[in-house]
Amino acid sequence: MKKAALLVIGLVVVGMCLVLVFAGGSSNEYDSCISDCLDAVRGANIERDDITDADYQIIMAEHKNYICPGKCEQYK
């Protein structure tokens, strides 16, 4: 009986660890998605001659705070 109880407890602990590992993985995917999104925006706008430095800062802030998180919502 004690062996069965220990086995069940062990399986529960392993299951909880797996849940935490996979939950952490999705956070990594979300962070990676945000980073990739911001890198793409930065690359597309850094060399533009038609915007000011202030415009560039606004574009990056909008993407960081609103656009990229919306695009990456599926990875949360």
pLDDT digits (tens, 9 = 90+) for 8-50: 443 444 444 444 445 555 689 999 999 999 999 999 998 899 9
Residue 16 maps to a domain:
no
Residue 30 CB contacts under 8 Å (≥ 6 apart), including other chains: 72, 75, 76
pLDDT of residue 76: 86
pLDDT at 70 exceeding the cut of 70:
yes
- Domain span at residue 52? 24-76
How far from chain centre, in Å, is Cα 76? 6
Residue 3 maps to a domain:
no
**Domains identified in the chain, total number:** 1
The pTM assigned to this predicted structure is 0.63
Contact 63, 37 (CB under 8 A): yes
Residue 57 maps to a domain:
yes
Residue 40 maps to a domain:
yes
